A and B are shown apart, each in its own frame.
Chain A
Amino acid sequence: MDPDILSTFKILIIGESAVGKTSLLLRFINDNFDPNVSATIGVDFKTKKVTVDGNTVKLAIWDTAGVERFRTLTPSYYRNAQGAIVVYDVSRRETFNKMQLWLDELDTYTTKRNIVKMIVGNKIDQDTREVTKEEGIKFARRHAALYIESSAKTRDNVECAFEELVQKIIQTPGLWEASTNQAGTISVSQNDSSDGYLPKCGGWSCSLA
């Protein structure tokens, strides 16, 4: 483990099919890529390094890769996750209506009671919005979750979503442990960040609902 890594966080991305879960994770799309050619493999999980407020953490990000269609997510998928991004499509109300089920499932299987939840209303680039921002914020507030609206297509707020989630996990005591080789030094920075929650991205989109 690099000496500059604070910790490793397991993050889940859940929600109905085709709400844009995977595209939230795909940062770069190669414009020159031949549309007649496809990648030969599907991805199970990813490790990514992110730096938030000077703290560098490794994320192990788990995407359901379509199996949510058959409701076959196993308890092990949820085990030890510190953060969950629950996604719906603002242009399809039925995906918002299923949010309660996803949060119930998360609460059933999570092994960490203070897991940080973020509700993401995706596809705000679409003209046919069916779920208002206010409804999303209200729902998130009821579940003590962070709330953000995003467009994976235009990349609006996508980076912000991950940074916001990581920031909140770092600030949640008892949710994570520092990398062992950092044990002596980390308690200081943990105390530094525990004295208040400051939304990194500002404005309504990132507020702690």
Chain B
Amino acid sequence: MTALTQSVPDMEALIKDGSNKSALTCLHCPSRILNASVGTYVEKEFSLPAMTKLKSQTDTENHVLKDFWKVSDMFHFENVGFSHTADGVKYLTCADCEMGPIGWHDLQTKENFVALCRVKNS
């Protein structure tokens, strides 16, 4: 398993008063994930499996990410999917095309974290 660190360029432009300045949509389809100002910016290191892998590949690469939008309640999303529980968390996906993980759901605190680099900050 490899770990790659990814960061978001020009992050300041995406944040307004600590929240997401614009609505978030899926990178792969037009599905709207979160409305503007609903997420709170948090810096937190977390390792997420890669969005895609080759079908021939059995192992999944992990990426260490640190920029997230925190969403306190799962029903604050416009549209989002939750994976089955794996490694003690539920991963978040696009509700329409199911691409992901775009973040994770903490089963203890019920908080949700969406990776800035895995959604379109339109």
| Chain A residues proximal to chain B, CB less than 8 Å | 1-2, 5, 8, 26-30, 33, 36-49, 58, 60, 65
Contacts and interface: CB of A to CB of B under 8 A. Distances in A.
B80 to A, nearest CB: 6
Given A30-B28, A44-B83, A44-B84, A38 B73 contact: no
5 contacts: A1-B75, A30-B97, A39-B51, A46-B80, A48-B78
A40 B50 contact: yes
B28 A43 contact: no
A28 B54 contact: no
A47 B55 contact: no
Nearest to A45: B82
Nearest to B53: A40
Contact of B95 (A30, A33, A41, A48): A48
Contacts of A41: 49, 83-84, 86, 91, 93, 100-101
A57 to B, nearest CB: 11
A28 B31 contact: yes
Interface in B58-78: 60, 73-78
B120 interface: no
A47 B80 contact: yes
A26 B101 CA distance: 16
Given A38-B55, A41-B93, 18 more contacts: A1-B76, A27-B31, A28-B29, A29-B97, A30-B28, A30-B29, A30-B99, A36-B56, A40-B51, A40-B53, A41-B86, A43-B93, A44-B84, A46-B79, A46-B81, A47-B77, A47-B79, A65-B84
Nearest to A33: B28
Given A43-B98, A47-B95, A2 B83 contact: no
Given A1-B75, A28-B31, A37-B55, A44 B97 contact: no
A17 B14 CA distance: 43
Nearest to A41: B83
A49 B101 contact: no
A166 B99 CA distance: 26
B81 A43 contact: yes
Contacts of A36: 54-56
A48 B97 CA distance: 13
Nearest to A34: B52
B13 to A, nearest CB: 26
A47 B73 CA distance: 11
Contacts of B75: 1, 5, 8, 47, 58, 60
A46 B99 CA distance: 13
Contacts of B81: 43-46
Contacts of B78: 48-49
Given A1-B76, A58-B75, A39 B100 contact: yes
A177 B111 CA distance: 24
